[in-house]
A = this chain, B = another copy of it.
Amino acid sequence: MKPTIYDVAKEANVSIATVSKVLNNTGRISEKTKSKILQIMKELEYQPSSVATALTGKKTFTIGVLVPDIANPFFAEVARALENNAREMGYSIILCSTDYQLEREHDYLELLIKKQVDGIIIATEPKDLKKLRSLNDRNVPSVLFSIDHLAIDSHVVTTDDLKGGYLAGRYLIEKGHRDFVIITEPQRASGVLRVEGFKKALVDEGVDLEGVLVIEAKSKINEARKAANQILRLPKRPSAVFASTDLIAAIFINEVRKAGVSVPQDISIIGFDNTIHAEISDPGLTTIAQPIAKLASYTIEQLLDAIENPSIPPNRIMLAPTLIERESVRDLNK
């Protein structure tokens, strides 16, 4: 059986209060009893039950992380970064994949409340706004990660998607491109912003938006393939494509090659997220990188702040993305 504080106390001939004190370094204990107790804890391999601690101390040192799909490389990276930061601060993470389903999101939120997590990180486009708002009433701090939603009164840590799109647009124009197609995820707020930023760059550079086709595709293999082939069949092929995720871009490269069209000689493409797909694709994919590690550390920081001090007003932190230059965009000026 797992030893309890009573076992340690008995073995050391002291009271449980004394044991508790050396455990938490509170109060004053003589070096002698302290070392004795420490010794006995070692021998018994005693581990305090954080369940019991949580019941008194009101903290579970656990945070819930809601992602749409952990098998998506971007969210896998996010989960890893969040977990890392959380661990360093003594917190562990309950993983919740909503699979983009309202019901799962709802159920997980209830679960997290039941489990008394100290805070929640939401990295999935929220659907159950009502439940989400009720978190505030229940004093469960939350941070929106890489998404934004005005209807929710949470802290927000996100990439400046608008700027990311702008970076992509300006880069393509600098490289001499003038005819574009955009592939974007429908109904995803960040996707909309990315496209908006992209278009803004075009406008600023005097490109007519009339001629810019926007194709909708989810970041899934078959939808991306369909979009790629749709572009291939276009009467007038664009010189460059802006894809709102790397997966879409990577698949575009492959589909296009199969059709005998080469990247970047015949057509250029730029992605978004800088996931592993961008790194291993051939040619290497030029893309917009979200500063995942930094986003994660800010997110954990915000959340822990909010846990310590529930009354602080919701902050919004927006980090700048950067352009990672690889080989998927041709320089038409040369």
Contacts and interface: CB of A to CB of B under 8 A. Distances in A.
A47 B47 CA distance: 28
Interface residues of A, number: 54
Interface string A33-49: 00000000000010111
Prevailing SS type, chain A contact patch: helix
A80 B94 contact: no
Contacts of A110: 47
B47 A51 contact: no
B221 A280 contact: yes
A95 B79 contact: yes
B92 A94 contact: yes
A275 to B, nearest CB: 9
Contact of A71 (B47, B77, B115, B247): B77
A51 B116 contact: yes
A83 B69 CA distance: 11
A213 interface: no
Contacts of A221: 276, 279-280
A32 interface: no
Interface string A54-84: 1100001010000001110100110110011
A97 B80 contact: yes
A99 B24 CA distance: 29
A124 B107 CA distance: 29
Contact of A95 (B47, B95, B247, B281): B95
Interface of A: 1-2, 45, 47-52, 54-55, 60, 62, 69-71, 73, 76-77, 79-80, 83-84, 87, 92-97, 104, 107, 110-111, 113-116, 134, 138-139, 221, 247, 250-251, 254, 257-258, 276-277, 279-282
